[in-house]
Amino acid sequence: VQPKSMYKHKRLAVVQPHSQQQSIDEYLSSHGLYRKFIAKDGSCLFRVVAEQVFHTQSLHLDVRKACVAFLRRNKDKFEAFVEGSFEDHLQQLSNPKEWGGDLEINALSIMYSRDFIIYQEPGRPPANVTEHGFKDKILLCFSNGNHYDSVYSRKFPAVAGICQAVLYELLYEHVFEVNRQTLRASVELYRSRKNHDSSSEEAILDSFGMWNTSGVHSGCSSLEPSEHGRHRVYKSARATNQIDDNVMKSLDPFVYRNVEFEVWVASRKEQHEADHGSAPGVHFSEGDQCLVRVEERGDRYYPAYITEIFTENGPVNVYVEEL
């Protein structure tokens, strides 16, 4: 199989507004599809491939390493698609923070015998950007000029939520030795809370200045427990204090937690707080994502991209998509 010509899907130079992100989710939902958020950094493409090929994002570094090795072995086939030094490109790609693009998509397609189908604009059909004729496909949603999310059937959150609940129940019952009655009571307690439709994923996203753009993403059940159920829940509340709120959510088969994305967002928030305490030592680069606060708009932080840096420790220009 020979690599196809590159740059078959349009790359946007600006950040897509929240409304367009919501539109693409609605468009996907109307076609029986669901967008799963992926970490918004250089790992996104490799996370998507790792998850859709090996069923776990934890192998994204291995997928990246394999991609670099494949490109190096097939330099004669891919070198023409790279401006400048091919070896320099591979060195940059070896950096876990480096974003993958069209060249890497072509290589990954051949490596794993899967064509890449990319959704990008609401109302427009997806593009088969590799066109190798493979039976298996990898479905992605492209946004913000460099980011990829996973695309699955709309049934995915419901099925995955059940599997997740079974896994957590087995883990907590047989490894951590929490009795089943306590586990069930924790699920009832989670469902009984007034704001149970607001998932912890949404709360984390909001705290970082990101938003869940569709109810599909939360995967939360709208079931209300009976009064008898409420009585049992509050009676058992003390027993469930040992169980973390996120674990309670994971034990509910009507809820799917996007654990990998939650962990990434939480880590970014922690890094932001650490950087905020040592701002003079922070070094940014053009294209980095950051949070900015506009004094006229209160204490809220807005997600932004750095567009220009004037001096090493001086001011920078940023692009704020919301403003």
Catalytic residue set: 41, 44, 147
- Residue 168 structure tokens: 């957590």
Cβ-contact 78, 86 below 8 angstroms: yes
Q: Are 58 and 48 in contact (CB under 8 A)?
A: no
Q: In what order do the strands lie in the sheet with 316-320?
A: 289-293, 301-309, 316-320
Q: How far apart are CA 206 and CA 188, in angstroms?
A: 25
- Residue linked to tokens 């890497």: 104
φ and ψ at residue 129, rounded to 5 degrees: -85, -5
**Angle, CA of 10, 14 and 17, to the nearest 5°:** 105
3-state secondary structure of 293: strand
Indicate the DSSP class of residue 99. P
Q: How does DSSP classify residue 311? A: S
Helix, strand, coil % in the chain, rounded to nearest 5 = 50, 15, 35
Q: How many CB atoms neighbour CB 286 within 10 A? A: 11
Residue 267: which H helix or E strand, with range?
A: helix 259-277
> Cβ-count burial of 69 within 10 angstroms (0-12 exposed, 13-18 middle, 19+ buried)?
middle
Three-class DSSP category at 139 = strand
